[in-house]
Structure 1
Amino acid sequence: MIVRRTLLSLLVGALYAGCLAPASAQQGAPFDLGPAQPGRVRAEKDPAAIARIPMAYRFAEPGTLTVGISPGGPPLATYATDARTVVGADPDFAQLIADSFGLRLNLVAVAWADWPLGLTSGKYDAVISNVGVTEQRKEKFDFSTYRQGLHGFFVRADSKVASIREPRDAAGLSISVGGGTNQERILREWNKQNVAAGLKALDLQLFDDDAARLVALRSGRADVIVQPHAQLVFVAARDKDIRRVGTLSAGWPLRSDVAIATRRGSGLVDALTLATNNLIANGKYGQALARWGLEEEALARSETNPPGLPKY
C-alpha cells in the first residue's frame, strides 16, 4: 500500500509539469503540501448547524465526520510529501465542516469511480471531492453546493490576449484542450456560434494528456489552454509563466456548481448547507479558498439540491 501511494504521489506531482518529480519538490512550489498543514483554517462549533443534524442520523463513525475524497491533484486534493496524508482545498473545506459540527475529521481516500458506491453503502457520511451537481446524480444523492465549477482560459505570461469572456473573444485563436472532454464540447459550440456570426473559426488542438497541452501552449503552437480552472491555478502559481484571462462555467451555457454529496434522504444535507453558509458569512470559507488560490471559485451562498446539469 505504501509503495502504491508513493508512486501515486510522484505521478500527481508530475502532473502538468511534464517530468517525473513530485510537485512539492518543484522549486518555488506555491502551496504547502506538507502533512502538518499549520496554515489550515479552522472554525468554531456552529450550534445552529449542529441543531439541524437529525437526531436519528448515525455517523459512519461516532464522533467523527467521515468524508470520501479522491486525491486527483493539487490544489484540490493530493497526497502530501509523506505519501499518506491528503491535503488541498477540499480537505481544508472538509475540516471546516467537521469543526462546525464539533466532530473529528476522517478523510477516506477513494478512487473517483468508487465514491458513489461507498457513499450509498454508508462507508462515509459525505463526499467532498469536486463533485458537480447533475440531475442524474440527484436521483441518488443530496447536494450542498460549496464552490463554482469552472474551466479556465490561460495564456503565456507574455501573450497579447487580454480577456476571454464570450465566444467572440476566442475567434481565430488556437486553443489547446483535452480531446473528448467537456471543455472540447463547449468550445465546439463556441465555434459554431462564431462561424454563424461570420467570425474566424477556433483552431482546436486536441491532446490526451495534461503535459502535452501545456507544451503546446508554452512552445507557441497554441495561444490558449483550456482545462479545469483549479489545475491551471496551481501551474500558474508554481511556474509563473502562464496567466488567467478568463473563466467559464463547466456547465456552459448553464451554471455548474460543485457540492458536498450525501445519501439522498439521509437528512444531513440541510445541516451541511447551513454550516457552509455560516462559514461564508464569518469569512472562514473565503480564507480557506484563498489559501489555495481559488477565490475565483467562491460562491456567494450555498444551496441545497439546486438545478443540476441535464442528462446529455
Structure 2
Amino acid sequence: MTFFPNLKTIFAAVATVSLIGVGAVHAADEFDLGPEQPGRVHAAKDEAAIAAIPKDFKFVTPGTFTVAVAPSGPPLATYATDAKTVVGADPDYASAIADALGLKLELVPVAWIDWPLGLTSGKYDAVISNVGVTEQRKEKFDFSTYRQGLHGFFVKTDSKITGIKEPKDAAGLRIIVGAGTNQERILLKWSDEDVKAGLKPIELQYYDDDAASLLALQSDRAEVIVQPHAQLVYIAARDKNIKRVGTLSAGWPDRSDVAIATRKGSGLAAALTLATNGLIKDGSYARILDHWHLAEEALPKSETNPPGLPKF
C-alpha cells in the first residue's frame, strides 16, 4: 500500500515514517515480494479445460496466455523488489491457470482504469486484476469467478471489539471508510437499519489518505477501519498493530465475486471456469490463497457469468 505525503499535521508525517520504515520489515517476514518467487504454486495440465477452448479462439500470442494485471498494491499485485516484475496473488493465480491450459504466461502491467479498452481491443486475452462482477460489466465482458469480493473490518490490536458480522455489531461505532465507495454505501444502509431497530447510528469518518486513516485509528479518533480485505491483510502483517474482526461482502446482503474478465462471446470463459474448478479440486487454488493470506476469500466453486452487483 502506497502512503501519500500530503498529511495535515507534523504528527501524521512522523507516524508515516514509522509505519513505512518498520512495517516494511515486518511485511517481508510474511510476504515474499522478490522477483524470483520460489514459493509460486504450479499446476498440472487440465485436459478438460484445454478441450473447452474454442477451436477458433486466437490467443494474442500463440501458445501464450496474455493477461493484463494492475500492480495496485500487495498482496494482490505489486511490483517486486526489482521494480519491474509483477508479483502477488493475482499473478500467481494467472500462472496456475496458464499451467492448467498448457500455455506460457505473459503478464501485461496496466493501469486499472485502462483494462476494459485494452481487453475490448484485443491487447490481451484476459484480465486478472481484482475485477468484480457487475451486471453492467456483463453487458460487455464474460466472467469466470475466482475469489469472493470482500471488505475487511479491522481494529487496533488491543481493541475490545471482537467481532462485526451484522449491522447491530457496528451500531454506534466510529468507522473509517472511503467516500463514494461500495463499503460506504453498505454501511449507510447498516446505519439506517440500526436506527430503525432503536440502536445508535454508525459514525462514518473520512480521511484524505491511508496514512491519515491509520493514524486516526491508532490515536483512537476512530474505532474501526473498513477497506478492501486484501489491502488490510497486508497492512496488518506490515504494521503489526491492527487485526481483523470481520469481513463484509461487496454485494451485501448477497455474495459478490471477483472474476477473470474476457471478451464477450469469445468462448474462453467456459475453459477458464473449468480450469479454476480444477485448481480448486486439486488444492492448488487453496495453496495460492494461503500463500498470500487470503484464505477467507476462497470460493467453493468457479462460475461463468453469475449474478453481479446491480446497477445503482
C-alpha distance in structure 2 between counterparts of 1:15 and 1:273, whole Å: 38
Q: CA 1:125–1:137 in structure 2 vs 1: closer, same or farther (change >3 Å)?
A: same
Q: CA 1:57–1:90 in structure 2 vs 1: closer, same or farther (change >3 Å)?
A: same
Q: CA 1:52–1:22 in structure 2 vs 1: closer, same or farther (change >3 Å)?
A: farther
Whether 1:192 and 2:175 are equivalent positions in the alignment is no
* Structure 1 counterpart of 2:55: 55
C-alpha distance in structure 2 between counterparts of 1:22 and 1:179, whole Å: 24
* Structure 2 counterpart of 1:279: 279
* Structure 1 counterpart of 2:116: 116
1:207, CA displacement in angstroms? 1.6
* Structure 2 counterpart of 1:228: 228
* Structure 1 counterpart of 2:311: 311
C-alpha distance in structure 2 between counterparts of 1:244 and 1:22, whole Å: 20
Contact 1:14–1:20 under 8 Å retained in 2: no
* Structure 1 counterpart of 2:183: 183
* Structure 2 counterpart of 1:95: 95
CA RMSD of aligned residues (A): 1.8
* Structure 1 counterpart of 2:25: 27
Match for 2:73: what amino acid? G
1:14, CA displacement in angstroms? 4.0
C-alpha distance in structure 2 between counterparts of 1:236 and 1:88, whole Å: 16
Whether 1:132 and 2:132 are equivalent positions in the alignment is yes
Contact 1:15–1:73 under 8 Å retained in 2: no
* TM-score for both structures, normalised by structure 2: 0.93
Q: CA 1:185–1:113 in structure 2 vs 1: closer, same or farther (change >3 Å)?
A: same
Q: CA 1:23–1:289 in structure 2 vs 1: closer, same or farther (change >3 Å)?
A: farther
Contact 2:22–2:239 under 8 Å retained in 1: no
Deviations along 1:252-302, whole A, 9 cap, x unmatched? 123210000000110100000000001000000000000000000000000
Consecutive unaligned residues of structure 1, counting only runs of 5 or more, are 1-11
C-alpha distance in structure 2 between counterparts of 1:79 and 1:188, whole Å: 35
* TM-score for both structures, normalised by structure 1: 0.93
1:13, CA displacement in angstroms? 4.8
Q: CA 1:243–1:170 in structure 2 vs 1: closer, same or farther (change >3 Å)?
A: same
Consecutive aligned runs of 4 or more in structure 1 exceeding 2 Å deviation: 12-25
Contact 1:69–1:107 under 8 Å retained in 2: yes
Match for 1:310: what amino acid? P
1:25, CA displacement in angstroms? 8.2
C-alpha distance in structure 1 between counterparts of 2:149 and 2:134, whole Å: 12
Identity of aligned residues (%): 69
SS of structure 2 residue aligned to 1:28: helix
C-alpha distance in structure 2 between counterparts of 1:253 and 1:203, whole Å: 21
Contact 2:19–2:239 under 8 Å retained in 1: no
Match for 2:136: what amino acid? Q
Moved more, 22-31 or 87-96: 22-31
* Structure 2 counterpart of 1:242: 242
C-alpha distance in structure 1 between counterparts of 2:139 and 2:20, whole Å: 39
Match for 1:198: what amino acid? G
1:22, CA displacement in angstroms? 7.3
C-alpha distance in structure 1 between counterparts of 2:257 and 2:207, whole Å: 26
Match for 2:216: what amino acid? A
C-alpha distance in structure 2 between counterparts of 1:138 and 1:261, whole Å: 9
SS of structure 2 residue aligned to 1:269: helix
* Structure 1 counterpart of 2:143: 143
* Structure 2 counterpart of 1:268: 268
* Structure 2 counterpart of 1:18: 16
Contact 1:175–1:205 under 8 Å retained in 2: yes
Match for 1:223: what amino acid? E
Match for 1:182: what amino acid? N
